[in-house]
Chains A and B, each alone.
Chain A
Amino acid sequence: MICSVLSNLCAVQSRLVGQKFEVKVNDVRFVGHPISIQADHRRTSNDENKSTIHLFHIVFALWAKANHSVVNCYHDLSRRVGIAVYHEEKRCRYITKQAKKMLAVHDDHASSQQDSPRESPFAQVLATSQLARELKAVYDGLVQTGTVHLSIGGWIDVSFCLPQKIHKLHLEERTVEPEDIYRCVRLLQPFHTLLLLEEQRQLVASLSPDSSPTLRRLVRVANPVRSLQHLAADADLTLRHVFELTSQLVYWAKATIIYPLCEKNIYVISPHAPTKLNSKLASDFAEEFGQNLHQVLSEYSMPSTLSQKVTPFSAHHQLPTKVQVLVWLLQRRLLMQLHCYVFFTPTMRLPSGGPAPGSRQSTPDSLSAAANTASDTSSVADGAPPVSAPSLDQLAEAPLASLTDPEREAVLKVPAAKDPDKLRLFTRLLQYFNGMHHLEEIMYRENLRRWQIHQVLEEFGDVLTTCQRCDEMSVHHDSRCD
């Protein structure tokens, strides 16, 4: 396609100004955001530099197949750069001056075409015009790292990142869409923490000079063993602001969200971890720690905790490296954490619609629980209620009232339910037993110790079912792979 057609296409009508511009021609999709410059330079109207430019438009040419979210990101970039250029134009007639320089080069080139027909005028434009250099910097930044840092006209800073690209550079073979990041960030809780993906000092240095001072403060106190709530206190920020800053860091692939490191955390190899031999990851790991990545990873083939990895005899000098290795693996998302989730399943245990539960001899193991609840009804009904029923009613009537009759019956049949304290704790925790909250969250929300919850799980095991799985956060982290 010839240039003049293209420029006509992009020089949009005035009523399309200030909106998203998107045109697909064969295999190329043009995306931009046209911005008009009103001729309101009254005071300089009789100046010799009078602006002849009514509209400018920074257009990106993408593959037509480009994802919708990618197109939106490029539109956003065009708008940002456009607004910066617009303000520079208002301030010091930036684009007018730059355009004049560019045109002069093109004119020179046209007049001297006979002498050196091969040299492109654009190389010369690059040498003379600052705007041209800035646009080139945008292109180079996007291609190389997916980020853009520049100050238009040496005055207005523009920062932009293309999440699809920047995360891909960091985690090879995986694509992270902005929607995944938004979903992750929505799940952020005070008991999570952020794990920086770069050295703290390096990260602070790479922040632009006018970045928020609170961001610097948060980065300085960031620590993978302390939760966001603690970090907020350390940095003297509100929790809400810490969430916002964390989201920003995650979007820019400067940090990832994890549950704070502790000895009881269970880790396993992430299903999407690249395990091929001779990868860059493997060589990086060998360089960093002098160990073989695959050998270390194989230790996490089965779910294991940090405390299992360290023998008590050599704990002092082993632990620091083990933690460093773990952090390295978590930064690259080669590992994921498993959590324990609890379901309240009282009525599920009762055999429904099946043959009569009389054949107890032939039902060993797990079915015995179901058979017990059915066959023990008589014994419990005979002996226990007269003694314990009144006190229990007073104590636990209100919380257990949300349950249906068979459910309440099943709970009260558990031996531990006769202890009022235990029953009170159980009813307090009942709201979390729907498979949506892991043990760590329950510990945080109810201010309990791990053993206390484990005790409840053990004692009320007949009406509870537990399962071990990764949390929703890690699913969104990894939802789009390969």
Chain B
Amino acid sequence: MEHECGLLSAADAQTKMAAVMEQMLQGLNSVGHAVLSVDGSVPVHLKVVRTPPAPDHVADHHVPVWVGRRPPRLDHWDMTSQQIIPHIKGVAHVLKISALADVEVQLVKACVRNLLYYGLVELTSIFQYSNTYVVTPDITRLYSDPRLQDECCRAVARDECIPASMGNVFPLYCAMTHDRTLRDICTEHNMQTMRVNERKLVQFGLLRGLIRRVHKYPVHLPELAVGVPLTGRFPEDAYRLFDGRHSYDEICVREGLSSKELDDRIERDPSVIVLRK
């Protein structure tokens, strides 16, 4: 600006400069960005960029879900993300997306982290009817906030045109306890007549923090199985995952088992106990 119009050295520099500073202050404080231009010089664009903290690590078994109602437009993104975005539907986990999109897992993780950074997706767990969910204290928000109720009724409906009724949805959330799996809840309540989609119900609850998943962590304690025959045991190297740090999801995805298979085998093995938390 100095070169173009002598912002600093001109005779009326003081008044001009003051105006520029004022403009900058007002712009940055009110809308977060400002465009400075003096006497038709090339404009200078300023913007305060939000720097969110680095997103968490993305694991194989995480399921990315769009936070908004619609996925973003494809053409803004890089080639890899364009390949992956159609497969993010809140159903497939990272490893599966990698297989579906034919993209290397590490690249998928990097892309998902990138989307996480911009707040476009959130990570949830794999949806299964054998999962257990429990309500969090935030459930009171659903009770008291009519706007959240409206949003919820629309989000969990089977048919987007006919919203579900709060009178049906709220007891469903409240029925989620440690000793009921989603399958139990679905058999106790008739989801069809309530016009509630259980997958959307869980997804909305998880995204809004109304409910949380109770994960199962198998732990291998060899001293429990002393003197018990070896039938039905896992191969020795499978035990290294049963150290209390890996959840069912993680083990299933890594070993390519279904959670029912894992459940059955753990039940047969006396040296493995399961912690739920």
- Residues on A lying within 8 angstroms of B by beta carbon are 268-273, 275-278, 292, 294-295, 297-298, 301-303, 338, 341, 343, 345, 347-354, 359, 362-367, 370, 434-436, 465-472, 475
Shortest beta-carbon distance, B25 to chain A, in Å?
23
Q: Report Cα–Cα, A472/B173, bound state, in Å.
A: 18
Q: Which residues of B from 158 to 176 have beta carbons under 8 Å from A?
A: 162-163, 165-168, 170-171, 173-174, 176
Contacting pair B135 A467 (CB below 8 A): yes
Knowing that A294-B273, A364-B190 are A-B contacts, what are 7 other residue pairs whose CB atoms are under 8 Å apart, sorted by A's residue number? A295-B273, A303-B179, A343-B170, A350-B167, A370-B167, A467-B173, A467-B174
Quick check: is B30 within 8 A (CB to CB) of the other chain?
no
Q: Is the CB of A363 within 8 A of B193?
A: yes
What is the bound-complex CA distance between A143 and B197, given in angstroms?
Answer: 53
Give the most central of A272, A301, A338: most B CB within 10 Å.
A301
Inter-chain CA distance A359–B277, complex, in Å, is 41
Evaluate whether A472 and B137 lie within 8 angstroms (CB atoms) in the complex, with A298-B274, A365-B188, A366-B188 already known.
yes
Identify B277's interface contact among A269, A277, A347, A353, CB under 8 A. Answer: A269
* Cβ A469 vs Cβ B134 within 8 A: yes
Q: CA–CA, A468 to B188, complex, Å?
A: 17
A350, B166: Cα distance in complex, Å: 9
Cα separation A243 to B173 with both chains bound (whole Å): 35
Q: Are A276 and B165 in contact (CB under 8 A)?
A: no
Chain B, Cβ-Cβ closest to A373: B167
Bound together, the chains give a CA A269 to CA B277 distance in angstroms of: 5
> 0/1 per residue, B263-277, Cβ < 8 Å to A?
000000000011111
- The reply on B219 being an interface residue by CB < 8 A is yes
Would you give the shortest CB distance from B176 to chain A, in whole angstroms?
8
Q: Is B16 an interface residue (CB 8 A)?
A: no
Among B171, B188, B245, B277, point to the contact of A465 (Cβ < 8 A).
B171
Which residue in chain A gives the minimum CB-CB distance to B245? A276
Instruction: State which residues 210-230 of B face A: CB under 8 Å.
Output: 212, 214, 217, 219-221, 223-224
A417 CB, nearest partner CB in chain B, Å: 20
Report yes or no: B179 in contact with A302, Cβ–Cβ below 8 A: yes
**Known A-B contacts A362-B193, A364-B190; A294 and B275 likewise in contact (beta carbons under 8 Å):** yes
Collect the chain B residues with CB atoms within 8 Å of residue A269's CB.
Answer: 275-277
Asked if B177 lies at the interface with its beta carbon under 8 angstroms from chain A, I say: yes
- Contacting A347 at CB < 8 Å: which of B163, B167, B174? B167
A298 touches B243 (CB 8 A): no
Contact A353 B143 (CB under 8 A): no
27 A-B pairs with C-beta separation under 8 A: A268-B276, A269-B276, A275-B275, A277-B219, A277-B220, A292-B223, A294-B221, A294-B244, A295-B221, A297-B275, A301-B276, A301-B277, A343-B174, A345-B143, A348-B170, A350-B167, A351-B165, A351-B167, A352-B166, A353-B165, A365-B188, A367-B168, A367-B193, A465-B171, A469-B134, A469-B139, A472-B137
Measured between beta carbons, the chain A residues less than 8 angstroms from B219 are 275, 277, 294, 298
B274: chain A residues within 8 A (beta carbon): 298, 301
**Closest Cβ neighbor of A468 among chain B residues:** B177
A197 to B120, CA, bound (A): 43
Give the contact-size bracket for chain B.
35 or more
Contact partners of B143 in chain A: CB under 8 A: 343, 345, 434-435
**B225 CB to closest chain A CB, in angstroms?**
12
State A276–B167 Cα separation when bound (angstroms).
41
Contacts of B214 in A (CB 8 A): 271
Residue of B nearest to A482 (CB): B56
A435 touches B244 (CB 8 A): no
A301 to B219, CA, bound (A): 12
Please report the C-alpha to C-alpha distance between residue A262 and residue B178 in the assembled complex, in whole angstroms.
21
Closest Cβ–Cβ distance, residue B253 to chain A (whole Å)? 19
**With the chains together, A278 CA to B242 CA distance in Å?**
12
Q: Which of A353, A434, A467 has the most CB of B within 10 A?
A: A467
Is B9 positioned at the interface, with any CB of A under 8 Å from its CB? no
Smallest CB gap from A298: residue in B: B273
Contact yes or no, B167 A348, CB < 8 A: yes
Whether B136 sits at the interface, judged by CB under 8 Å, is: yes
- Out of A275, A341, A366, A465, name the residue touching B217 (CB < 8 Å): A275
Q: How far is the CA of A465 from the CA of B194 in the complex (A)?
A: 17
Selected from B170, B178, B273, the residue in CB contact (under 8 A) with A345 is B170
Closest Cβ–Cβ distance, residue A180 to chain B (whole Å): 15
A276 with B243: CB separation less than 8 A: yes
The complex places the Cα of A211 from the Cα of B247 at a distance, in Å, of: 47
3 A-B pairs closest in CB distance: A467-B174, A275-B244, A348-B167
A348 and B166 contact, CB distance less than 8 A = yes
Tell me if A471 and B137 are in contact (CB < 8 A).
Answer: yes
Contact partner, A469, options B136, B275, B277, Cβ 8 Å = B136
Q: Which of A362, A465, A469 contacts B170 (CB 8 A)?
A: A465
Contacts of A467 in B (CB 8 A): 135, 139, 173-174, 176-177
What residue of chain B has the Cβ atom nearest to residue A474's Cβ?
Answer: B137
Report how far A351 CA is from B171 CA in the complex, Å.
Answer: 13
With the chains together, A273 CA to B167 CA distance in Å?
35
- In the complex, what residue of chain B is closest to A297 when comparing beta carbons? B275
In the assembled complex, the Cα of A338 lies from the Cα of B178 at a distance in Å of 10
State whether the Cβ of B96 lies closer than 8 Å to any Cβ in chain A.
Answer: no
* B231 in the interface (beta carbon within 8 A): no
Chain A CB within 8 A of B254 CB: no
The reply to whether A345 and B190 form a contact with Cβ atoms under 8 Å apart is no
Q: B51 — which chain A residues lie within 8 A by C-beta? A: none
Q: Report whether B178 and A302 are in contact in the complex, using a CB–CB cutoff of 8 Å.
A: yes
Question: Are the CB atoms of B135 and A469 closer together than 8 Å?
Answer: yes
Question: A275 to B214, alpha carbons, bound, how many Å?
Answer: 14
Closest to B176 in A: A467
The reply to whether the CB of B195 lies closer than 8 angstroms to some CB of chain A is: yes
Q: Given the interface contacts A295-B224, A298-B274, A472-B137, does A367 sit within 8 Å of B190 by beta carbon? A: yes
Return chain A residues, CB-CB under 8 Å to B168. 351, 367, 370
A36 to B140, CA, bound (A): 53
Task: Assess whether A470 is in contact with B166, with CB atoms less than 8 Å apart.
Answer: no
